């Protein structure tokens, strides 16, 4: 019986993969397609944080981020630093972004005390015409105990 479910899952997964790049992004074309699909999903989700597609958006964001980490020379800037930079570039004040929230919420976001939610990410991406993944937080890495052999690991 399990073999039948796996066969059905394989068929469904292949059908989904024809429309949505759900998996590791290996080429720039895969990356661009994933960003386009993520933008469309976020347009569909709108302000609904509990929308059934929210998990798919998060998953696509992780694949996009993995590709960017490997291929795109982004800085390690936080969402708050990116927002501040965009605000400065566009000569905006906190009050110029009411769609993100009240002055208090904006202050918490800009100070790093509050993370952005999906609707806020959607609004910022649309407002500044950038990929939503720009504002998504990096996944937290599990801390490991030091091994007997030290390895140099570092990010760009």
In order along its 156 residues, the chain shows pLDDT tens digits of 799 999 999 999 999 988 898 899 999 899 889 999 999 998 898 778 899 999 999 899 899 888 877 776 545 678 888 899 889 888 999 999 998 889 899 999 999 899 899 899 989 988 888 878 888 765 554 444 443 333 333 333
Quote the pLDDT of residue 145. 41
Residue 18 resides in a domain: yes
Residue 155 resides in a domain: no
Supply the range of the domain harboring residue 84.
Answer: 2-135
Number of domains present in the structure of the chain: 1
Residue 145 resides in a domain: no
Residue 148 resides in a domain: no
Quote the pLDDT of residue 53. 92
Q: Are 133 and 61 in contact (CB under 8 A)?
A: yes
pTM of the model as a whole: 0.49
Residue 149 resides in a domain: no
Quote the pLDDT of residue 75. 56
Cα gap 25→9, rounded to integer Å: 21
């Amino acid at each position: 019986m399990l073999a039948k479910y796996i066969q059905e899952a394989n068929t469904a997964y292949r059908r989904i993969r024809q429309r949505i790049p759900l998996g590791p992004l290996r080429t720039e074309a895969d990356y661009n397609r994933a960003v386009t699909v993520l933008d469309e999903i976020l347009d569909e989700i709108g302000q609904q944080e509990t929308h059934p597609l929210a998990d798919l958006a998060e998953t696509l964001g992780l694949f996009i981020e993995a590709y960017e980490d490997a291929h795109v020379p982004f800085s390690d800037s936080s969402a708050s630093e990116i927002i501040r930079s965009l605000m400065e570039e566009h000569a905006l004040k906190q009050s110029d972004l009411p769609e993100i929230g009240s002055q208090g919420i904006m202050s918490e976001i800009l100070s790093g005390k509050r993370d952005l939610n999906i609707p806020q990410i959607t609004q910022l991406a649309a407002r500044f015409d950038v990929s939503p993944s720009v504002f998504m937080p990096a996944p937290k890495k599990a801390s490991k105990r030091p091994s007997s052999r030290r390895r140099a690991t570092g990010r760009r």
